[in-house]
Amino acid sequence: MRHDPPSGPVAARVEALNARYRNHAATAVLRHALSDPAVGRIALVSSFGAESVVLLHMISVLDRATPVVFIDTQMLFAETLVYQAEVAAQLGLSDVRTIRARPAALAAHDPDRLLHKSDSDACCALRKAEPLDRALAPFDAWITGRKRFQGQTRARLDFFENEADQRIKVNPLAHWRPADVRDYMVNNRLPRHPLVARGYPSIGCAPCTSRVKDGEDPRAGRWRGQDKEECGIHFVNGKLVRGPVADDTPQDQEEPAMNVIVTDTGFAADDRGGAFQSPDLPDATALDLAPDADVSALQGRLEGVDIIRIAFPAFSDGRGFTMARRLRMMGFAGRMRAAGHVIADQYAMARRAGFDEVEITPELARRQPWEQWQARADWRAHDYQGRLRGLA
């Protein structure tokens, strides 16, 4: 396996790779992904779930020394852990890397292991997204088992995806149907996850996975009853659904005030301080809005408002972007600030949504210095979808 990083922007390489391998079969796409210089250093990320053995088997045939990243959320079914060990041994995979959340982060944010009940997105960020971010740091690309048939959010998957202009995501099985998966497993005599026979066609963490009834979507058992389809480690139709958790601040330590402002020209001091007011006050000139606020109630009241701050309670919560667009469509011409859990990779999205600036904690500013935000300062240059449509 080569170790030289690829050259050129991720978006351009993704476009070229999809054009080059558009008509290739899954195995050929995977083989080329392991060797094409445009892809770079690559790893397979596997949940060792219901269908994971297909890609694991392909990797074992092509190059069993390929790094395989397994996220142990410490909330998995016991059957998954046993299956993971058995499959890795049977296929002779020589570089399986089991990753977990940092103990300090778990102690600070989920000491009672109940976070999934109050905020499943935060739990996914803590136990999946942040550990995966750390594990993928040395790589230019990663392989997933996602397929178009797995739901609306995956209906337009390509073989190669641009992930936040940081790395490439490879989906060799994007065009496979359920019958293709079954046939491959039968023809290659691959072991099935034991929970599949018990009504679990899609398997995640035990507290958030339930049995699927006949006729239901295969992923209906994931986060049942919640408005949630992804675990938080993917971009879906250009929307960020993966982001690191908050810092490892001990619970008894007060979170620092949000007073670092990010603009196109760098970090600045907060010129508003605590001057923001509730949207219920009739003459307020600086409004604080929660992500679920009813912006229609502000219709006709925006003329005297000079700045609106919208809260982002979690990195994976994109409601603030939609709210900003609605406010701009309503005619609001003042300043808009995205405040809270926003990272550098989201800056271009925030600017295109109508935000003028971002407010973050000093801690986040230390972990993501201005150089990282500067890479997104020319946010129009990162409107890849617009460029593809000829709009930018």
**So which residues are the catalytic ones?**
231
DSSP state of 257: P
Contact 248, 102 (CB under 8 A): yes
The tokens describing 357, both together, are 């600036």
Nearest alpha-carbon partner for 244 in 345, 390, 176: 345
Beta strands in 255-356, from DSSP E residues, in sequence order? 260-263, 266-269, 286-289, 307-312, 335-340
Sign (positive/negative) of CA torsion 29, 33, 39, 45?
Answer: positive
Determine the residue type at 379.
W
Alpha-carbon gap, residue 242 to 232, rounded angstroms = 4
Sort 4 into a burial class: Cβ within 10 Å, 0-12 / 13-18 / 19+: exposed
Q: How many CA atoms lie within 13 A of 380 on its CB side?
A: 3
The tokens describing 152, both together, are 């609306």
Alpha-carbon gap, residue 323 to 136, rounded angstroms = 32
The tokens describing 11, both together, are 């978006």
